[in-house]
């Protein structure tokens, strides 16, 4: 009588660890990614691991003066490289265009509206960005927004604002600012946009047109970073890739990389895809708002990154490099922004 072969016991798939910042917005974004992965792979376990970054800890200095392109990403990247986590969820606008050796951008998710939003104090509910009174104090921590708004509205006053989204809204509501500028995408994701969550309200007073403020590179999209050789994670992320968004963001990131600019320089972009054609608009502005170099390029979307590089080279020939060099000197000397 022959004995039956012992049953084969398969090891359970490894638990996947998602790295995230601790802010409310970062956690909302990371939990969304976790949910999407769980739906697609119900037999897997996905855990969120939170950590604070340098940008979260230093709140009393303007971002541009900290002088670090990885303010909101380095700690998450270190956890990936050390094998403590398996993927990191970033707001793509925070992710530098040069990644550490061994890490890659595993996927880019479908983009929310990348535009900037005006949020006003209750005393200005009847105003728009172009009708705010002279001297109105506008809060922003972005040199890109600062430079463009100074160009269009030199009669307004600008003041740095730091902290997470709720902290900034609180500073506005207490009257410290007449208005603040935030990303539409962040407000929408936190239920403070066009479809407010229960107990919240729509805080978007005006979506600022691209003609006034081109958005940040990658704004509105999530970038998921992972180890370059981790085929298991890359396989899991395939279903979250949104190719039209990715093409737009590759063009924008190619543009930024070629200009050697970090997320804290006044570089703005706008991208549109119609059929198989991508249109990229790019801008570099002086901090005082008195000089703006702006141009546009069209081409096949499959050549997105190269289009970004070519547009950057055009702007450099038109004077963009001189503007950026002046800004680096100004920031380095700790001059007022």
DSSP string, 196-220: PPTT------EEPPTTT-PBPTTTT
Tokens of 260: 């050697």
| Cβ atoms 79, 19 nearer than 8 A | yes
Q: Is 53 helix (H, G, I), strand (E, B) or coil?
A: coil
- Scanning the chain, the segments in alpha helix (DSSP H) are 24-40, 54-57, 63-66, 74-81, 143-152, 165-173, 184-189, 231-237, 243-259, 304-317, 320-332
100 exposure class (CB count in 10 Å sphere: 0-12, 13-18, 19+)? middle
Phi and psi at residue 120, in whole multiples of 5°? -115, 155
The rounded Cα 152 to chain-centroid distance in angstroms is: 23
Coil, helix or strand for 329? helix
* Catalytic hit among 86, 94, 113, 116: 94
DSSP 2: P
**Distance, C-alpha 79 to centroid of its chain:** 20
What whole-number distance in Å separates Cα of residue 286 and Cα of residue 267?
Answer: 10
Nearest Cα to Cα of residue 218 among 189, 242, 257, 249: 249
Q: Are 278 and 307 in contact (CB under 8 A)?
A: yes
**Whole-number Cα distances in Å, 187 to 76, 205, 264, 316:** 23, 11, 21, 34
For the chain, the farthest-separated pair of C-alpha atoms sits apart, in whole angstroms, at 97
Is there a catalytic annotation at residue 126? no
Give me the long-range contacts of 331-335 (CB less than 8 A, separation at least 24).
Answer: 331/64, 331/65, 331/67, 332/67, 334/65
Q: Please list the active-site residues.
A: 94
């Amino acid at each position: 009588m022959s004995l039956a072969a012992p049953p084969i016991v398969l090891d359970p798939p490894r638990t996947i660890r998602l790295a995230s910042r601790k802010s409310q917005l970062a956690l909302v974004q990371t939990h969304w990614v976790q949910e999407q992965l769980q739906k697609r792979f119900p037999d897997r376990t996905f855990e969120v691991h939170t950590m604070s970054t340098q940008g979260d800890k230093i709140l009393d200095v303007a971002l541009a003066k900290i002088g670090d392109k990885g303010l909101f990403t380095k700690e998450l990247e270190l956890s990936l490289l050390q094998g403590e986590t398996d993927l990191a969820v970033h707001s793509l606008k925070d992710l530098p265009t040069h990644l550490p050796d061994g890490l890659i951008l595993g996927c880019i998710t479908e983009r929310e509206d990348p535009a900037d939003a005006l949020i006003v104090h209750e005393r200005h509910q009847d105003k728009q960005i172009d009708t705010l009174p002279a001297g109105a104090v506008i809060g922003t921590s972005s040199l890109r927004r600062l430079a463009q708004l100074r160009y269009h509205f030199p009669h307004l006053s600008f003041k740095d604002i730091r902290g997470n989204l709720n902290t900034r809204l609180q500073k506005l509501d207490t009257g410290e600012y007449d208005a603040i500028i935030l990303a539409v995408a962040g407000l929408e994701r936190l239920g403070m946009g066009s479809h407010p969550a229960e107990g919240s309200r729509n805080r978007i007073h005006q979506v600022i047109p691209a003609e006034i403020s081109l958005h940040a590179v990658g704004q509105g999209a999530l970038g998921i970073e992972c180890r370059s050789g981790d085929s298991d994670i890359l396989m899991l992320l395939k279903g979250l890739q949104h190719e039209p968004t990715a093409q737009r963001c590759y063009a924008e990131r190619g543009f930024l990389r070629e200009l050697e600019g970090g997320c804290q320089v006044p570089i703005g972009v706008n991208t549109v895809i119609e059929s198989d054609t991508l249109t990229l608009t790019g801008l570099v502005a002086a901090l005082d708002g008195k000089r703006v170099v702006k141009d546009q390029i069209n081409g096949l979307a499959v050549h997105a990154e190269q289009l970004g590089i070519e547009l950057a080279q055009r702007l450099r020939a038109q004077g963009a490099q001189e503007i950026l060099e002046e800004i680096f000197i100004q920031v380095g000397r700790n001059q007022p922004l």
